[in-house]
Every structure is written in structure tokens, then in C-alpha cells.
Structure 1
Amino acid sequence: MEKRDMIGDETTRLALKTELLQRVEALETFQALFPSPAQPIDQIVQQLESLNPIPHPLSPKHLPSLIGDWQLVYASNGTVVTRAIASTPNMLGGIQIKQVWQSLVTGEPGKINASNGALIDLPLLGEWQLQADGTWNWGEDDQIAKVTFGTFYIRATKPFGSSSWNLPELKIPVLEFLRKEALWTTSYLDAEIRIGRGATGNLFVFRRARQLLN
């Protein structure tokens, strides 16, 4: 009976995962990454979280499944960048977010080096890349990490719409006493998708990235 239940749970999980990916792929970038009313996706995510195949993603044996490049494909309440854009008058039609990603690399024991990036198009200014580098730290709880970002970067990838321009990268370090910690829960993880929740419960769906910017 127990084995039959396990098979049923796995069948349900795969069906939910397929539905999640189909719904996400059907969304336009604005719908997927900007604050919006609750989507059916949120309910699917909650069901998936209850069937999480890797409930301890920060344990040493599961870190290889967590490490790597991830594409952000859905955010229930937007992101820090998209919320800022949404609150700026008369900018929604001008700024376009083309890609949002996160790269995770193994650091010292109990730490992961994290890099969050976004590729955006600015009116008249062209294409720019924003990036924040920081660390994940955790103790005995191998599902929740404390996240701190210490350096921000701004780089023009196609300034004024031209790829021939070569402008220097702007690096903005954050002084240690100004750095803030945020709790981050990895609530679902498998080989293809990852679901994270911030301290306020906002959910973020990532898909394993095939290719990111160099």
C-alpha cells in the first residue's frame, strides 16, 4: 500500500510540474515577473511543495542539485527590480526586462556564492545588465539560508542600441555595516525546477538554465 501511495504521489508531482511549466511558458514576461493578482500557478506551486522530492536542499549530498545556473520564470509578487519599475510612473511601457537569472556556486563550508542578474532595455539608453553578488549562509536548518549581497554591478551590453560601444563596468560595493540579511527558503527542488520563498512568503519559480550570458 505504501509503495502504491509513493507511485501515486510521483505521478501527481510530475503532472503538476508539467502543468506548472505549461502555464509559465504561456505567460508574457510582464505577467510572469511583475506584481499581479494571484495566479492559478500559485496554487499549483503549493501542491508541488507538499510533494517536494528534495526536502533538504542545503544538505551536502543535495548541494549538487542546487548549484548551477537558474532562469527566473515566475515571481508571485515581482522582484526587487520589477517592483521598483512598476512603481515608477510612465515607465512600464518603456523599460523591458528581457531576462532574470541566478547563479549558485559552492563556497566555503556552509556557504553558497550567489549572483543575481537581470538584462533590461532602457528607453534611449539601450540594453544593460544589472548584477548583485552575495552569499547564502546556513546552519542546522538545511532548507533555509540567510542571504546577504555585498556587491552590485552595472554593465552596458548594448548602450544606445549598439553592440560596438565598450563602456566600463560600474562596481558598487556595499559596506559591511550596511548589508542586510534576508531569509530564503528553498521549498521545492528537482533536476529541472526550483521554487524559493522569501521571508514574506513571496514565491519564485526558477528553471534550470541552458545558457546564460557570459
Structure 2
Amino acid sequence: MVENDATRFALKTELLQRVEALGLQQALFPSDGEQIDEIVQQLESINPIPHPLHPDHLPSLLGNWQLVYASKGTVVTRQVASIPDFGATITIKRVWQKLVAGGAGKISASNSALLDLPLLGEWQLRADGVWTWGASEEMAKVSFDSFSIQATKPFGMESWSFPELKIPVLEFLRNEAEWTTSYLDQEIRVGRGATGNLFVFRRE
């Protein structure tokens, strides 16, 4: 147990150093992060909380988490990267997730991103949804019921802000995706999507 704790500490230190060396922009856009992925796999092999959705472990899962690395980018950054000569001029200032208990077998999830857009200023995007699960205490089904957008500093004006525009997703249009929490401790969380995308979060 002591050996695992020491190994986890060393691996997490190396992981965070490599992520920091990339810089937030590169860490959240699709890139070759093979070395980081290998470190994460080693961490997953000594996961201290293998059943994060068990009621006893939910307090360790819930709260505010900053996304620090995405192996294949995020929904937002993949779209940005696909725009020729435009992605390089968009600055990702922050991406974070808030998880709140939503009743038995449910977690309310809010995914947010703060972007600095050329000429348009600072904008915040948010997707609100829910995690549900059954017997599995590692994999959840995720669906989103609304999306919102807000200009927090339009045109770079510090004293301006626009009201939030919220767009609900009709129930028959909601898609479910599988989400596995493959590593969890008090500081670091790793999530994997069904397509193999790897996400590393750090507790705020």
C-alpha cells in the first residue's frame, strides 16, 4: 500500500509537469500525447478508488474539476481545430466541470468552457446534463438536456456582459454516451469516453 502511494505520487507529479509543459491550448486540442497517456495508464493500474460511483465514494467524485488534458481534444476544441486558420486565433482560457449529487443513481453535470474569440471578446459555453448508472460503479450513461452561451466580456469590454442564452434539448433528441471514471483520488480524476478519448481533471 505504501509502495503504491509513493508510485502514485511520483506518477501524478510527472503527469502534471508534462501537462503544464504543454500549455493549456495544446493540452486541450487534439495532439500526440503518447507519453502522457502511458503515465495515465500506469495510474489506472493502481487506482485507489476502482468503484467511484459507489455511494461511499461519491464525495470524492463530486465537486469542481478543471480539465487539464484531453487526448483527442474536446467537443469545443475539435470544432475549433477544424476551422482553417481560425483555430490558432481562439484562446481557450479555462475548461471545467461541476458534479453535484442528483438523487439515487444520478449526478448533475455542468461542463463549461471560457473562450476568447477574435474581435468578439470573452464568451462562456456550458452544457448541462446528468449521469445515470445501474450495477456498474465505474461506467455511467451521460446525456445533456440544455446548452447555453453567454458573452462575459463582449468585444473585450470589461464592464459589459450579455444575458445567458439557454437552449433546451428536446427529450427525443438527447443522445446517451458512455463515460468511465478510470482513476480517482482527492486531487486527480481520469475519464474515458466510449471512443477512447482520455480526459484528465484536477480538483479546483
Which bracket does the TM-score occupy, shorter chain normalised? over 0.9
Question: Separation in 1 of the partners of 2:55 and 2:151?
Answer: 37
The answer as to 2:95 corresponding to 1:100 is yes
Amino acid at match of 1:196: G
Shift of 1:27: 1.5
Question: Separation in 1 of the partners of 2:54 and 2:203?
Answer: 19
Question: Separation in 2 of the partners of 1:56 and 1:137?
Answer: 14
The answer as to 2:26 corresponding to 1:31 is yes
Residues 129-208 of structure 1 mapped to structure 2, 5 A cutoff: 129-208=124-203
Question: Separation in 2 of the partners of 1:87 and 1:97?
Answer: 15
Shift of 1:24: 1.2
Q: Return 5+ residue gaps in structure 1 as ranges.
A: 1-5, 210-214
Question: Separation in 2 of the partners of 1:44 and 1:155?
Answer: 36
Question: Separation in 2 of the partners of 1:184 and 1:205?
Answer: 13
Shift of 1:166: 3.2
Question: Separation in 2 of the partners of 1:72 and 1:93?
Answer: 20
Structure 1 vs Structure 2 CA RMSD:
0.9
The answer as to 2:118 corresponding to 1:123 is yes
Query: What's the secondary structure of 1:17's corresponding residue?
Result: helix
Q: Alpha-carbon deviations, 1:140-187, whole Å to 9, x = none?
A: 100000000010010111000002223221111000000000000000
Partner of 2:82: 87
Question: Separation in 2 of the partners of 1:131 and 1:160?
Answer: 20
Query: What's the secondary structure of 1:191's corresponding residue?
Result: coil
Question: Separation in 2 of the partners of 1:31 and 1:22?
Answer: 14
Question: Separation in 1 of the partners of 2:165 and 2:135?
Answer: 37
Shift of 1:39: 3.0
Give the percent of matched residue pairs that are identical in Structure 1 and Structure 2: 71
Shift of 1:64: 0.2
Q: Alpha-carbon deviations, 1:116-156, whole Å to 9, x = none?
A: 00000111100000000000000010000000001001011
Partner of 1:3: none
User: Paired residue for 1:75, among 70, 77, 81?
Assistant: 70
Shift of 1:7: 2.3
Question: Separation in 2 of the partners of 1:179 and 1:198?
Answer: 17
Amino acid at match of 1:118: A
State the TM-score, normalizing by the size of structure 2. Answer: 0.98
Amino acid at match of 1:37: D
Question: Separation in 1 of the partners of 2:177 and 2:168?
Answer: 18
State the TM-score, normalizing by the size of structure 1. Answer: 0.93
Where in structure 1 do 4 or more consecutive aligned residues deviate above 4 Å? none
Amino acid at match of 2:163: P
Question: Separation in 2 of the partners of 1:202 and 1:166?
Answer: 34
Question: Separation in 2 of the partners of 1:26 and 1:93?
Answer: 18
